Structure 1
Amino acid sequence: MHKVFGVKEAAEYYDREGSYIIPVCGDKVGVVKTPKGWFLLGGGLEKDESHIACIERECMEEAGYTVSVSRRLCSAETYCFHDTIGYFHPIQTYYIGELISKSAEPAETDHALEWVEYEKIKGKMYFEMQSWALDKAFEK
């Protein structure tokens, strides 16, 4: 399942592929809180990096956790304008998995791992497409 958000303007976009994990424990989901808001754990792929390797690296950088990725859930993309990047086109793939253990302090000190009840965070992610992916993770 894939969904497109936003409206593509007649402009040159910066395309950025990324992969993210949605760790669910009961009615809660593990997310990172930053000064901008809530985000899923994950980020942009580096050169020649696999989706799973990206999630493993980003979870260590953002939360200091090792992870286990179990399955692909969905993907989405959006067309938007970013304050520093300009016209931005993130393309994100979402996976279900779990946080295994904390093995280091996070390198990104403005990111804090939080376990938040789905009903509290529903529709409140920084990116609308990440809210949509969360909804897919909690569909019965």
Structure 2
Amino acid sequence: MHKVFGTKEDHVYTDREGAYLILVCGDKVGVIRTPKGYFLVGGGIEDGESHIACIERECTEETGYAVTVKGEVCSAETYCFHNEIGFFHPIQTYYVGKMVSKTADPTEKDHEFLWVKYSDIKGKMYWEMQSWALEMIFEKR
């Protein structure tokens, strides 16, 4: 399933493809808290990087854990104005998986990994499309 958020206007947008992991443990979801808000674990894909490699790298940087990626859940994109980037078009693909083992200390110092009850985080992600992706997991249970 794929969903588009926002409205594309007559501007030149910066596209940014990303891959994210939805980590679930019972009624909790693993999220990253930053000064900007809550995000799923993951991020932007670097040149030549696969979705899985991106998720593995981002999980190590953000949580210090190795992960396994089990399967794709959905994808979404949005058209918006970003204060630092300008007209922005992030395209995100969401996967489910599990944390395996701690392999390093997180390197992104302003990122804090948290397990949060879905009912407490529902609708509160920085990106509306990430809230929607969580709904795809938790509302179908």
TM-score (norm. length: structure 2): 0.98
- Unaligned 5+ segments in structure 1 are none
Structure 1 residue 119 displacement after superposition: 0.4
Q: Which residue of 1 aligns with 2:123?
A: 123
- Cα RMSD over matched residues? 0.6
Structure 1 residue 63 displacement after superposition: 1.0
Structure 1 residue 104 displacement after superposition: 1.0
Q: Which residue of 1 aligns with 2:70?
A: 70
Q: Which residue of 2 aligns with 1:104?
A: 104
Q: Which residue of 1 aligns with 2:32?
A: 32
Q: Which residue of 2 aligns with 1:48?
A: 48
Structure 1 residue 40 displacement after superposition: 0.3
Secondary structure (helix, strand or coil) at the match of 1:74 reads: strand
Amino acid at match of 1:57: R
Secondary structure (helix, strand or coil) at the match of 1:16 reads: strand
Structure 1 residue 9 displacement after superposition: 1.2
Q: Which residue of 1 aligns with 2:114?
A: 114
Q: Which residue of 2 aligns with 1:9?
A: 9
Q: Which residue of 1 aligns with 2:21?
A: 21
- Unaligned 5+ segments in structure 2 are none
TM-score (norm. length: structure 1): 0.98
Amino acid at match of 1:62: E
Distance in 2 (CA, whole Å) between partners of 1:101 and 1:109 is: 20
Distance in 1 (CA, whole Å) between partners of 2:10 and 2:99 is: 41
